[in-house]
Structure 1
Amino acid sequence: MEKILIIGAGPAGLAMAGRLRKNNIPFDIFEGQNRVAWSWSQHYDRLHLHTVNEKSSLPHKPFPKDFPTFVSRQQLLSYLEDYAKEFDINPELNHPIDSIHKTEKGLWEVKSGEKNYLYKHVIVATGVNRVPFEPRWDGMEDFNGTITHSRTYKNPDPYQGKKVLVVGMGNTGAEIALDLHKKGVEVWISVRGPVNIVPLELFGRPTQETAFKLSKLPNWLGDRISVIAQRLSIGKLDKFGIKTPKMPPSAQLRLTGKTPVIDLGTAKQIRKGNIKVVPDIDHFDLQTIIFKDGREIEIHDVILCTGYKSRLDEFIPGIDPMLDRYDNPSSPIGKGEFDNMYFLGFDNFKPGGILGAIHEDSKVILEDLISRF
C-alpha cells in the first residue's frame, strides 16, 4: 500500500494520522515548525477551549477524566503530545512545504527545500490559522509605540503601566482585553462593526450544548431562540459602543463560519467602563491614534487581534476553485483537478467548533481513502 502524505502536525494532522494508524494505513507527516501543535504552543497563557471536552478530543482517545469541562491550552498541548506518542506519530519537523503540483501521471509532486516527493494522496492539514492577518493604516510606520499581532501575546506582564489598544473584538480580542484589565492595564478595544456575543454558559450549562440542540431545530426557530437567549444573558451594549447585528448568533455560525464572541467577562467590564470601546482606526500619529469618530487617544502598545488566513494559494497553485468565499476549502474531499487531495481543519461552520469538525471530517476522509484502495 502506498504511503499517504499528511501536511501539518497540529490537531488536524494528528487526528488524521491517528485514524490512519488505527487502520494500518502507512503515512508520512511533514511539519513546518519544530514541534507538534506548534500554533497551540504559541497561544496566550490563559487560553482555554470554548468547546466542551467531550466534543473536542481527537479520534480514539478521549481526554483524561480529570480534565475540566473547558480544557486549558497547556492541558491540550500535553494531550496532543501524548496522542502522538500513543499512535506512534513521528512527524518530520522543520519540513515546510514550498509547493504542490500534480504531475502528468496524476501524482502529487511535493517540494520541500531541495527535496521533491511523489504521493498519490495528500492530506492538507495546515489549518485556518496559518498566516496572521495584519491590516494597515496610514501613519503606522511613524508610530512610536509597538504594534504586534496577537500570535505573539502571552500575558499582561510586558504591558504593566502602559496604555494598550486591542484591535478587533473576536474571541481572541475580547479575552486579551479582559486579561489585560484583570492585571491593571489600561485598555481600549477597537470594534469596527456589530458583534454577536453569547455567554460561555447559559443557565448553568455550556452554550455549546445549547448550540447543538438549536442546530437540530428548523433554522427559523433555532435562530429565534438564540436571539432570546442572547438578550437574556448579554443584553444590549449599544450605549457602550457595541451594536448587536441583525443576524442571530446561530445563523452567523451556520452561514459565515464565524463563531460569536463567547463572553468570559469582557461584557461586564465594558459595562463598568473598565474596558473602553472605540470605533475603527482612522490613522496613526507619532504617539496617538485617531479613530473614525474623531477621538484621539495616547496609546503605547497596539495588539492586533485581527485573525488569520489559511493562504493555501501560497503553496498550492490553482487552488482557487476549491475555496469558499473566505478562501478556505469548501469540502474535505478534493474534486476535479484536486482529486486525491484532502483538506482537514478548515471547517468553521459546525457548532462543535474546529476540533469537533476535525473529528468528523477525518472520518469522512478515511472512508473516502479506503474506498479507493
Structure 2
Amino acid sequence: MTGHADVVVIGGGQAGLALGYHLRRTGLTFLILDAEDAPGGAWRHAWRSLRLFSPAAWSSLPGWPLNGGETTYPGRDDVVGYLTRYEARYELPVRRPVTVRSVERAGDGVLLARTDRGDWTARMVVSATGTWRHPYVPHYPGREAFRGAQVHSGAYEGPESFAGKRVVVVGGGNSGAQILAELSEVADTTWVSERPPVFLPDEVDGRVLFHRATARIKALQEGRAPEIPAGGLGDIVMVPPMAAARDRGVLHARRPFARFGETGVVWRDGTATGADAVIWCTGFRPALDHLACLDVVGPDGTVAVDGTRSVREPRLWLVGYGGWTGPASATLIGVGRSARETVRRIAAELGAEGGQGVPTPPG
C-alpha cells in the first residue's frame, strides 16, 4: 500500500511543526510522519525539571507565541503543552506513531519513504528527526566493567532514584550543569567537564546567544572573521536553579578521569572516587539511520547541504539538526527561520504543480 504527497516531513517535533506551519500556506500536499506516541517531540523525554534558557517570548515557533513573555523561563511540560496546542491550532496533518524505516529513490522523480504503517512517495522529503534517538557516550577505558548505573541525559527523568548515592555527572554544557545542580541537593555529586565551564552573566540568556550565533554564521558566510563578544560565546546560562546551585557552592568541575574501575572512576593522578552511578550529559548526534539507502550521510554523521538541501540528493532536505542546517536551527526560535527558507525553496520548485494540501492516502 502506497500513498503520495508532494512533500513528506519525517519527524513531528518542533522542526516538523515549523515546516508544517509554512507548508500550509503553499497549497502543496504534505504530511508529517512522527514516531512518537503523542505530540511534543523530544521534549516528551526531557527530565521533569528542565528549564529553557530563553524566555518564553524567545522560545516560540512561527505564528504563535508561547505564553510567558520576556520574564518567564518555560519548563519541559510548558513546551510539550505548547507544541500539542500548536499542532492542533494549525490542524497540521501529523500521523503517529509512524516509524520511517528508510528513504529510497523510487524512479519517476520521487523518493519513497518506507514505514511500519505503509509507504509514501513524495517529490520532496524533509528529514526533521533531530538528535534525541542518537545519544552520544564517549569511550572511557573500563566502562563495561563499571558495576554502577549509567544513564544518558536523554533518559534521565529526575533525582529521586539517586538520593543518597554517589553520582558522577559527565558534561560541561547546560544539560550537565542543570542536572548537576538538581542532583547536588540529594546526592554526593562529582562534576566532570572536558574544559572549565563558562558561566554567563546573570543578565545574559538565550536571546543573546541566539543573536551571537546568527552574527557568527553571517560573518562566515560573508567571508569575515567572526567577532568574539566580551565574555566569549559562553556556555552555561544562569537560569534560577543554576543561580541557586552557585549560591550553594556546588558548581565546581573536574577534568575528565582516566578510566573506570568496577566501583568508581580513576583520575589521571591515580586517585579514585567511588561512584554508584554516572550520568552522561555528553550530547547527541543527528538521527539519520533512515537515510542510509541514499548514501548521503558522511563520516562525521552529517549530510553535505546547500542551505538545507542535500547536495547529493536534491529531493532531500534536512531541518533542525543544529548549525550545519542553519543558525540555531536546533532551538525553538531558530528552527522557524530554517523552516521558512526551506519551504520557500521547495514551493518555488513545486508550487505551480501543488495540490490543495491534502495528501493521497495509502491504498
> CA 1:271–1:56 in 2, change beyond 3 Å: closer, same or farther?
closer
Q: CA offsets, 1:226-267, max 9 Å, x none?
A: 22xxxxxxxxxxxxxxxxxxxx327xxxxxxxxx22234658
> CA 1:134–1:353 in 2, change beyond 3 Å: closer, same or farther?
closer
Once residues 247 and 92 of structure 2 are traced to their aligned partners in structure 1, the CA distance between those partners, rounded to angstroms, is: 48
Query: What is aligned with 2:361?
Result: none
Q: Does 1:284 align with 2:260?
A: yes
Query: What is aligned with 1:31?
Result: 34
> CA 1:328–1:71 in 2, change beyond 3 Å: closer, same or farther?
farther
Query: What is aligned with 2:233?
Result: 249
1:61 to 55, 61, 64: 64
Query: What is aligned with 2:319?
Result: 344
Aligned pair count reads 337
1:319, CA displacement in angstroms? 1.3
Once residues 271 and 64 of structure 1 are traced to their aligned partners in structure 2, the CA distance between those partners, rounded to angstroms, is: 29
- Which ranges in structure 1 are unaligned for 5 or more consecutive residues? 228-247, 251-259
Higher RCO, Cα 8 Å, sep 6+: 2
Query: What is aligned with 2:207?
Result: 208
Q: CA offsets, 1:300-352, max 9 Å, x none?
A: 1110111101142553431136x9x6626644432443212221112336368
> CA 1:155–1:313 in 2, change beyond 3 Å: closer, same or farther?
closer
Q: Does 1:334 align with 2:334?
A: no
2:186 to 184, 187, 192: 184
Q: CA offsets, 1:194-214, max 9 Å, x none?
A: 444323524xxx462376279
Once residues 41 and 57 of structure 2 are traced to their aligned partners in structure 1, the CA distance between those partners, rounded to angstroms, is: 23
Matched AA of 2:315: N
Query: What is aligned with 1:226?
Result: 230
- Which ranges in structure 2 are unaligned for 5 or more consecutive residues? 352-363
Q: CA offsets, 1:91-128, max 9 Å, x none?
A: 22121111112233221011113733211111111113
Query: What is aligned with 1:358?
Result: 335
Once residues 28 and 16 of structure 1 are traced to their aligned partners in structure 2, the CA distance between those partners, rounded to angstroms, is: 10
Once residues 272 and 69 of structure 1 are traced to their aligned partners in structure 2, the CA distance between those partners, rounded to angstroms, is: 23
Relative to structure 2, which stretch is displaced further, 36-45 or 167-176?
36-45
Once residues 315 and 71 of structure 2 are traced to their aligned partners in structure 1, the CA distance between those partners, rounded to angstroms, is: 39
> CA 1:297–1:271 in 2, change beyond 3 Å: closer, same or farther?
farther
2:163 to 154, 160, 167: 160
Matched AA of 1:172: S
2:250 to 262, 266, 274: 274
Relative to structure 2, which stretch is displaced further, 187-196 or 297-306?
187-196
- Asked if the contact 1:346/1:354 (under 8 Å) is kept, the reply is no
Matched AA of 2:187: V
- Asked if the contact 1:200/1:207 (under 8 Å) is kept, the reply is no
Relative to structure 2, which stretch is displaced further, 61-70 or 156-165?
61-70
> CA 1:127–1:331 in 2, change beyond 3 Å: closer, same or farther?
farther
Matched AA of 1:249: L
Once residues 346 and 202 of structure 2 are traced to their aligned partners in structure 1, the CA distance between those partners, rounded to angstroms, is: 37
Once residues 353 and 200 of structure 1 are traced to their aligned partners in structure 2, the CA distance between those partners, rounded to angstroms, is: 23
> CA 1:200–1:361 in 2, change beyond 3 Å: closer, same or farther?
farther
Query: What is aligned with 1:175?
Result: 178
> CA 1:199–1:96 in 2, change beyond 3 Å: closer, same or farther?
farther
Matched AA of 1:279: R
Matched AA of 1:85: A
1:277, CA displacement in angstroms? 2.6
Matches within 5 A, 1:53-202: 53-64=56-67, 68-113=71-116, 115-181=118-184, 183-202=185-204
Once residues 307 and 200 of structure 2 are traced to their aligned partners in structure 1, the CA distance between those partners, rounded to angstroms, is: 29
Query: What is aligned with 2:356?
Result: none
Once residues 213 and 98 of structure 1 are traced to their aligned partners in structure 2, the CA distance between those partners, rounded to angstroms, is: 37
Once residues 157 and 275 of structure 1 are traced to their aligned partners in structure 2, the CA distance between those partners, rounded to angstroms, is: 20
Matched AA of 2:295: G
Once residues 315 and 210 of structure 1 are traced to their aligned partners in structure 2, the CA distance between those partners, rounded to angstroms, is: 31
1:222, CA displacement in angstroms? 4.4
Secondary structure (helix, strand or coil) at the match of 2:237 reads strand
- Asked if the contact 1:212/1:351 (under 8 Å) is kept, the reply is no
Once residues 24 and 262 of structure 1 are traced to their aligned partners in structure 2, the CA distance between those partners, rounded to angstroms, is: 41
- Asked if the contact 1:8/1:124 (under 8 Å) is kept, the reply is yes
Query: What is aligned with 1:230?
Result: none
Secondary structure (helix, strand or coil) at the match of 1:111 reads strand
Q: TM-score, normalised by structure 2?
A: 0.82
Matched AA of 1:198: L
Higher helix proportion: 1
Once residues 137 and 10 of structure 1 are traced to their aligned partners in structure 2, the CA distance between those partners, rounded to angstroms, is: 32
Q: CA offsets, 1:275-299, max 9 Å, x none?
A: 5532213222121211223230011
> CA 1:314–1:136 in 2, change beyond 3 Å: closer, same or farther?
farther
Secondary structure (helix, strand or coil) at the match of 1:226 reads coil
**Aligned residues with identical type, % of pairs:** 21
